Amino acid sequence: MKKSLSIIIILVFATIVILVAGCSPGTKASTSTASSEVTSTRPGDTSGPGAGASVTDTGSSSTLSTASSAASDSSTTVSESSTTLSTASTTAVTSSPTSGPQTVSHQQGDSRFVFAGSWSTASSGSASGGSFVYSNKPGASLTIRFIGTRLYWIAKKSPQYGKAKVVLDGVSAGTVDLYSATTVWQHMVWGTGKLTSGAHTVKIEWTGQKRAAAKGTYIDVDGIKIDGVVTGRHEQGNAKLVYAGAWKTTSSASASGRSLAYADSSGASVTIHFKGVDLAWIAKKSPAYGQAKVTVDGGSPITVDLYSSSVLWKQRVWSTGILPSGPHIVKISWTGSKHTGATGANINVDAVDVTGTL
């Protein structure tokens, strides 16, 4: 009996030892694994707010800390992604062809600007482009034609400068005072404000007026900025205007370029090839003028009546409107037709305004 009891006690003790030995190594391995996971996660966290921080916690506490850091990193990534989208949107609007005309700077010597009267050129390192034009003479003016939405006039201001008159699309826009007690360069002295997209004309005129403190009545132009495209004027004698039939030339100080071409016989026509987006026909209107036929790119003919009960010079009698950018052909032909009040069937060409090139 005692022998059996001893055996039982020995077996129970052995079982306890085996059980204890089997559990302890597993516990140590689990702890080691948990510790290894925490250690490998934190040093690898290089993008978030907790980058490079030492890890002192163990077990689940360290795991929560790591999860918190990961969440913070994720939040930062979302924020950066949002910023990137915003930037991309801004870039797209800026560069998109449909976002509207781009502002383009033009020096005062641009050949498409039409100066009248007496102007002088002065050089200065302070001026836009190193030079500017000025005048102090009656009749001095500058006319700028463009297709777009806005124009800015850049000028020098000084004690010697007076006031200029500005006309926008044939309507007075008031006077601009170029006086300043001290000399100011490259100053934006006037702007049209936002205009309806289309063809516009700005004219700057010398007035001879000044404020009491001014020492002179000079006006000047240093540059022009335009949200759009400048339109260039080409006189009727330009070699790229191809005439057919019988045409004659007459001179007048009232005409664009001081002369115009006219016709009054069958077969008379003028053909203009240009590359661009718009062409406008400039002509004289009077009681002696009749009707012309105009076609664009061989399309249906349009009748343009040059009759007027009084004589009108340099009139924009017709335009193509905005065309797809590219090569186009405009043909103006004599018809022999006229208004019932007209005394003749003449047609004429004084000039063409082209937004593009001939």
Instruction: Classify domain 103-231 at the CATH class level.
Output: mainly beta
pLDDT single digits (tens) 157-210: 999 999 999 999 999 999 999 999 999 999 999 999 999 998 899 999 999 999
CB atoms within 10 A of CB 170: 8
What is the CATH number assigned to the segment(s) 236-357? 2.60.120.260
Q: Pick from 263, 256, 348, 354: which is nearest to 308 by CA? A: 348
Q: Count the helices and strands in the chain (H runs, E runs).
A: 2, 21
Q: Looking at the DSSP assignment, which residues form a beta bridge with residue 147?
A: 199, 229
**H/E element holding 93?**
helix 59-95
pLDDT single digits (tens) 302-351: 999 999 999 999 999 999 998 999 999 999 999 999 999 999 999 999 99
Q: Looking at the DSSP assignment, which residues form a beta bridge with residue 152?
A: 191, 225
Q: Which amino acid is residue 152, in one-letter code?
A: Y
Listing DSSP states for 195-239 in one string gives --SEEEEEEEEEEEE--TT-S--BEEE-EEEEEEEEEEEEETT-T
168 in Cβ contact with 243 (< 8 Å): no
Residue 253: per-residue pLDDT? 95
As a whole number of angstroms, the distance between CA 349 and CA 268 comes to 12
* Residue found by looking up tokens 């700077």 in the block: 105
CB crowding 196-219: b at 16 or more within 10 Å, else e: eeebbbbbbbbeeebeeebeebbb
Listing DSSP states for 54-70 in one string gives -----HHHHHHHHHHHH
Which segments of the chain belong to CATH 2.60.120.260?
103-231, 236-357
Residue 208: per-residue pLDDT? 98
pTM (two decimals): 0.61
Confidence check: pLDDT of 148 > 70: yes
